[in-house]
Amino acid sequence: MANKIFVSYKHKDSKVKPILNSSISVITTARHYVDVIEELLDETDHLYKGEREGEDIGSFVDTTIGSKLGDKIFDSSVTIVLISKGMKEDRSEKEQWIWEISYSLREQTRLGGRSKSNAILAVVLPDEYGDYSYFMTANSACNSITYKAGELFQILRDNMFNLKNKEDNIRECNGTTVYAGEPSYIKVIEWDKFKHNSNYYLEKAINIK
């Protein structure tokens, strides 16, 4: 089934692994990963509803940006959030771009219609060294993955490991809590897995919703 996909990300974050392009020599940012996502979605039935390359709205006032992106989110059913090493700035979270995530989670009434909450898939980008350990590390002893959720915006933290009645889905291992199954509303996957099977992980997020 085709779904409309919005992508939320820190546009100018350059603390990401370079994407090689033989024809252009530029500093890779999170925006370049969005371009790849567009290409991946072109190979599926899903439709991309985010900003297009060259669609520069950075010079618009905040209310105009909110209106234009709000329309795109309203008309989508899945939001991909790109987690990147430099996604957070040292200032109030309310002053940053995370309103897109909040908007995606709400049921909205506008334009004469109603939009339900989006499914959300968090895709973790490799940092400038090609590493994911700034956010996630493998725990081989417990056969699990440890997420540094404290590094995220609060709205992302609040929607991870938030399964109701989760007692049957947890176990203790070496003094840490290990979750089984899908304990979060926001599904998390690293970029290298997502890019090879994007449709599978999008469907996972949709099923969780």
Q: Look at residue 27 and tell me whether its pLDDT is greater than 60.
A: yes
Mean pLDDT across the stretch 153-169? 87
Question: Where are the domains positioned within the chain?
Answer: 4-207
Buried (b) or exposed (e) across 142-166, using 16+ Cβ within 10 A? bebeebebeebbebbeebbbebeee
Mean pLDDT across the stretch 155-181? 87
pLDDT band at 21 (very low <50, low <70, confident <90, very high): low
Mean pLDDT across the stretch 96-112? 79
- Say what the pLDDT of residue 63 is: 43
- Say what the pLDDT of residue 110 is: 63
pLDDT band at 66 (very low <50, low <70, confident <90, very high): low
pLDDT one-digit tens code per residue, 124-146:
999 999 999 999 999 889 989 99
Q: Look at residue 61 and tell me whether its pLDDT is greater than 70.
A: no
Q: Look at residue 52 and tell me whether its pLDDT is greater than 70.
A: no
Cα dist. 40→45, 127, 198, 205 in Å?
A: 10, 21, 7, 17
Identify the CA nearest to 202 among candidates 37, 22, 55. 37
Q: CB under 8 Å to 76, separation ≥6 — which residues?
A: 3, 4, 5, 6, 49, 104, 118
Do 33 and 191 meet the contact criterion of CB atoms below 8 Å apart? yes
- Say what the pLDDT of residue 71 is: 81
Q: CB under 8 Å to 122, separation ≥6 — which residues?
A: 80, 81, 82, 83, 156, 186, 187, 188, 189
Q: Look at residue 88 and tell me whether its pLDDT is greater than 50.
A: yes
| pTM for this model (two decimals) | 0.87
